[in-house]
Structure 1
Amino acid sequence: MKNVVITGTSRGIGFELVKLFAEENYNVLALSRNDAPVAKLKFDNISSFSFDLGQETDLKKASEFVQNEWNGKVDILIHNAGAFLNKAFQETKLEEFRAIYEVNVFGLIGLTQQLIPFMTSASHIVSISSMGGVQGSMKFAGLSAYSSSKAAIITLTELLAEEYKEKGPVFNVLALGAVQTEMLAAAFPGLEAPLSAAEMASYIKNFSITGSKFYNGKLLQVSNSTP
């Protein structure tokens, strides 16, 4: 059985990813502050515990789990967790900017550093970004903290792919368009997205399994609408 680690699993795309991988007999480590929804799934091949990307002790807890329970092997890491803020730039406190970056950028960095030692050249790290973080894409007022943090992980992906190209793992980033999630409802109240969380999760799952054969250090825009 292969092993996949997924963050942001309490709802939306992350929750759907956990179910999809578990149904295909992957061992799944589901990481989220609220682990209750995943715990209710009752799959023998799903493990979960309350997890905060901003806490170094929790990052080490994930590393220790992989070492002790999975014999030190990770095949896929999906950085799905994301913090969101819709607020005018001048009204956004510096602490609020830091809080968004703590999850979307620094938490992603910290977990990656913890788990890379357990990955091989065939392993795949997939980061979930946003179309709002893509240079030249349509931008929206109020999303300066969120979209700029999502832009940071796009460039980070390119840099890490270059740094690890000889020994792996493979790094790619998906910039998602509109998906019917709670985060979308907060960003664009009343907007009906063309894709459900389950539909997008199915695409991400398939890409995570096969995409490393075709891409490394690449940004793929997964969007059929604006926003």
Structure 2
Amino acid sequence: MDYIIVTGTSRGIGYELCKLLAAKGNMVLALSRNERPIKELGNKNIETFPFDVSSATDREHLYSFLKERNANVIALVNNAGKLVNKPFLETTEAEFKSVYEVNVFGVAEMIKLVLPFMDNRGHVVTISSMGGIQGSAKFAGLAAYSSSKGAVLTLTELLAEEFKETGPSFNALALGAVQTEMLEEAFPGYKAPVTAVEMAEYVMNFTLTDHKLYNGKILQVSSSTP
């Protein structure tokens, strides 16, 4: 069975991306701690179960799921993210670590788990943020979040180099402001110029086709600041 795996699918870009991919006939494995929004779609092309990328137990379940189905993973979209918006001096060590557990270590472990189920045509797409781009505008309160998003950009470049002879392709999208619940948490009251559906369409097209053109690349997908 061919699958496209998307993490962080209970809302925002991930949720819309699953719907768009399924509408095109792809079999999607939607992974999120809250599977209810996806399950309520009742889409025959989407499978889902509760999943936390930072949980070793959940990752073992995912491995068993893929193994039992002799799965071929066409693409992995690392979309799950955690945000803490607090002044640096008020951010506890536990809070800082919790952001990295999802945004960095969770991404690394997901890639490690999925690679045995991918061939050289596979595509690993990691959703990052403009806040992780060196020299971009930075915002107070996002020390943990933005630094974690910078870390996965470098990880993407490193993995593309390490697997350049065998594949798959690794790319990252550094997104600007998109009208999602997470944006509202980071910048209350800010209105983004791009909707979650519009960005999901871009992510879908990039995921399905652009591994032929890009590898180890960081694309800045933004028309605004933030």
| TM-score greater than 0.5 by the shorter chain | yes
Name the counterpart of 1:29. 29
Check if 1:130 corresponds to 2:126: no
SS of the residue corresponding to residue 180 of structure 1 reads coil
Deviates more, 1:104-113 or 1:150-159: 104-113
The equivalent of 1:86 in structure 2 is 85
Aligned to 1:179: 178
SS in 2 for 1:98: helix
| Code of the aligned partner of 1:15 | Y
1:21-47 Cα offsets, whole Å, 9 max, x none, are 110111110000000000011111211
Q: Which residue of 1 aligns with 2:43?
A: 43
What is the alpha-carbon distance in structure 2 between the residues aligned to residue 76 and residue 94 of structure 1? Answer: 33
Deviations 1:24-77 (A, max 9, x none): 1111100000000000111112110000111111112112212222x2310000
Q: Contact conserved, 2:125 with 2:207, CA < 8 A, in 1?
A: yes
- The residue number in structure 2 matching 1:74 is 73
Structure 1 consecutive aligned stretches of length 4 or more whose deviation exceeds 3 Å: none
Tell me, in whole angstroms, the C-alpha distance in 2 between the residues paired with 1:61 and 1:150.
26
Alpha-carbon deviations, 1:89-110, whole Å to 9, x = none? Answer: 0111011000000000011111
Instruction: Give me the whole-angstrom Cα distance separating, in 2, the residues matched to 1:65 and 1:17.
Output: 22
Matched, 1:217 2:205: no
TM-score by length of 2: 0.98
String of CA shifts for 1:181-214, please: whole Å, max 9, x gaps.
0110111111110000000000000000111010
Q: CA deviation at 1:2?
A: 4.0
Which residue in the other structure is 1:16 paired with? Answer: 16
Summarize the alignment of residues 184-203 of structure 1 with structure 2, pairs less than 5 Å apart: 184-203=183-202
TM-score, normalised by the number of residues in structure 1: 0.98
In structure 2, how many angstroms separate the alpha carbons of the residues matched to 1:36 and 1:178? 26
Give the match's secondary structure for 2:4: strand
Please list every run of 5 or more consecutive structure 2 residues that lacks an aligned counterpart in the other structure: none
Contact between 1:88 and 1:141, CA under 8 Å: does it hold in 2? yes
SS in structure 2 opposite 1:75? Answer: strand
Contact between 1:67 and 1:73, CA under 8 Å: does it hold in 2? no
* Contact persistence 2:3–2:71 (CA under 8 A): no
How many correspondences in the alignment? 226
Partner Cα distance (2:183, 2:199) in 1: 13
Instruction: Give distance in 1, aligned partners of 2:46 and 2:64.
Output: 16
